[in-house]
Structure 1
Amino acid sequence: MMQLSVAIGDYDRNRPLIDGRAKIDGVDPIVMTLTPEEMFFRAMRHEAFDICELSLSSHTLRTARGDAPYIAVPAFVSRAFRHTGIIVRADSGITEPSQLKGRRVGIPEWQLTANVWIRALLQDEYGVAPQDIQWVRGGLEEAGRVEKVKLDLPDGVRIEEIGATDTLRDMLADGRIDAFMGPRAPTTFVPSNKGLRWLFADPTAEAMAYYEKTKIFPIMHVIGIRKALAEQHPWLPMAVYKAFAQSKAIALEHLSETSATKITLPFVEEQLRRAISLMGRDFWPYGVGPNRHVLEYFTASHHRQSLSARMVAIEELFHPSTLETYVI
């Protein structure tokens, strides 16, 4: 058995792999449950892990550049509709996407996968181009956050860097920015704070309408394997993919047993039934086949936003052994 480091998020769909109910064939894993920010920074800067979650945006960017340290498998452990990813000041007068034009919008990093999806959503569904917004970049909760990768911005896009001791949370609170865009809401965004609200009054309804129109459930993270390791052990990528697929299957079976709710949240049974009704029983699919249209839209948007210098083919992102699977 090979002992390999595995850095992943502590999600229900990963938990069977974390606790050993799902296993990677031939691997004795050293599992670390980390935040996305820590995983991505250490993976992109230092190749710190043998197997880890990767930002789809960073992986696409590095693949286009030809220096990707990891090769991915199509286990999409993080997905989210990002209609909740735009938060505005209640006194900003911004009640619809078009009113973001000319406004100062804070972002932690330009190339975050969530922000690629949100910019694509704004441009394609609401006619708000990246050039229409005054971007302000820096740490959300702590000063000093940097972009993980070097950027070539699209023509007409300008990003203002915040002060060395500033945070976007505080700038949103005191009105130096009108809105915030990103995957993680500021800690001040709580129901008791009436000074902040989502851009969309009903983001769930907006997301459901978006899915009905596009059949896109946005992908955020993939699972990466260090390229040198995959080249040395060509059996490993499929073993990793199988383990993550098994882990998700166990989690969904657990979630579907509603005699006693498995997560600490009301309305779970209703939401599960609603998701299946809209998206089908396999509402969180892994594998390239059922997700090709999602991936193609993302890579096209990524290139249009000048994050990838060329269009990246889907087959470049994933190990060839995981592009298809056997049937019985």
Structure 2
Amino acid sequence: MNKLNISLSVGNYDRTQALFDGRVDIEGCNVRAVPLEPEEAFHRAFRYEEFDVTEISMSSHMMTTARGDNQYIGIPAFLSRVFRQSGIYVRTDRGIDKPEDLRGKTIGVPEYQITANVWIRGILEDEYGVKPADIKWRRGGVEEPGRGERAPIELDPSIDLQQIPDDKTLSGMLESGEIDAVIGARAPSCFLRGVPNVGRLFGDYIEAEKDYFRRTRIFPIMHMVGIRKSLVAENPWLPVSVYKAFLKAKMLAVKELDEICHLAVTLPWMVHHHNEAKKLMGEDYWPYGLDANRHVIETFARYHYGQGLSKRKVAPEELFAASSLDLSKI
């Protein structure tokens, strides 16, 4: 039987590395794998459908699924997960000492719709009563000027979202004091350079994120894996083969984190950190599959719909190929 030739683009994480170095194959496939930064993979996938299997944004996938024009169908392999209390950067000379102080402030976003920002706005509203309409939003590139939304969005008129001038960046405006804060997936360079009067809202963000997990049991999902729907229609066996490969690759990565004889990651106490994560979050603290993540995805769907990014509330099952949800029964 001839194997199916497919292209693959995901980040070169420890949990995907085995797909790049040949330790894990995708059954029935010859794979051409291209490691890419997530932003580039998203742009090339959602605009041009360049890859057969690709890392995709949870927010973009939910938005296109709600509209009914999604060109990719997901499998429940969640390649990127990040607690986002760390992603709120503020002017420290504006009296912003707690989340409630963000009301009435001007906050920069690289895109309103990106997954990290959906989570941050949802957490601000759920945990602290700060609603999106309480804030003046300013959109633009964090480091490069001129960035807009990856896909068009229509927000409620109560949301004050304006584009910053094309010759300015959010990092520059935060440094100069033209805006009060920036939220997003990446730290602005002004924070990394240690400029005066710029810091994190949550100084001890690790403790804030641990507390959040203890109370909610949510480890926020950022990215999943998508397969071109047209390819799945022609090869209905493909989602299970792809999902099995990602499960195996993650298993190999987690096994390496337990190896104290020779450290797989360039951190001296990596095994200790791995054990601390298991103590707090459980043996499988980075779970794949829908059942273990249903409450996380339902929370995100509520945020996404409530923030006006999806026209209807999407059920978690709609995001995934049905066969990939039944793998535990095989």
TM-score, length-scaled by structure 2? 0.97
Which stretches of structure 1, 4 residues or longer, exceed 6 Å deviation after superposition?
none
1:90 deviation in Å? 2.5
Q: Does 1:40 align with 2:51?
A: no
1:72 to 74, 84, 105: 74
Q: Deviations over 1:119-151 (max 9, x none)?
A: 000000011100111100001111111201111
2:191 to 186, 189, 193: 189
**2:106·2:137 contact (CA, 8 Å) conserved in 1?**
yes
Q: What pairs up with 1:149-160 in 2 under 5 angstroms? A: 149-160=151-162
- In 2: Cα distance, 1:99 partner to 1:271 partner: 33
Q: Deviations over 1:32-51 (max 9, x none)?
A: 11111111111111111110
Q: Deviations over 1:201-239 (max 9, x none)?
A: 211111111111111110000100000001100000010
1:92 deviation in Å? 2.5
1:315 deviation in Å? 1.3
| Structure 2 residue aligned with 1:292 | 294
- In 1: Cα distance, 2:17 partner to 2:227 partner: 19
1:282 deviation in Å? 0.3
**Aligned AA (1:116):** V
Q: Does 1:245 align with 2:247?
A: yes
Q: Does 1:127 align with 2:129?
A: yes
**Aligned AA (1:227):** K
**Matched residue pairs, number?**
328
1:86 to 85, 88, 101: 88
- In 2: Cα distance, 1:151 partner to 1:8 partner: 26
**2:172·2:190 contact (CA, 8 Å) conserved in 1?**
no
Q: CA RMSD in A?
A: 1.3
- Secondary structure of 1:188's match? helix
- In 2: Cα distance, 1:36 partner to 1:326 partner: 29
Inter-CA distance 22–194: structure 2 relative to 1 (3 Å threshold) = farther
**Aligned AA (1:232):** E
**2:301·2:314 contact (CA, 8 Å) conserved in 1?**
yes
| Structure 2 residue aligned with 1:100 | 102
1:179 to 168, 178, 181: 181
Q: Does 1:49 align with 2:51?
A: yes
- In 2: Cα distance, 1:11 partner to 1:97 partner: 32
- In 1: Cα distance, 2:203 partner to 2:247 partner: 35
Deviates more, 1:291-300 or 1:193-202: 193-202
**2:6·2:29 contact (CA, 8 Å) conserved in 1?**
yes
| Structure 1 residue aligned with 2:120 | 118
- In 2: Cα distance, 1:121 partner to 1:266 partner: 33
- In 1: Cα distance, 2:156 partner to 2:77 partner: 30
**2:99·2:201 contact (CA, 8 Å) conserved in 1?**
yes
**Aligned AA (2:17):** R
- In 1: Cα distance, 2:312 partner to 2:67 partner: 8
- In 2: Cα distance, 1:147 partner to 1:327 partner: 40
1:270 to 261, 268, 272: 272
- Secondary structure of 1:71's match? strand
1:117 deviation in Å? 0.5
- In 2: Cα distance, 1:105 partner to 1:297 partner: 23
Unaligned runs of 5+ in 2: none
Q: Deviations over 1:88-110 (max 9, x none)?
A: 12223211101111111000001
Q: Deviations over 1:279-309 (max 9, x none)?
A: 1110000000111111111111111111100
- Secondary structure of 1:74's match? strand
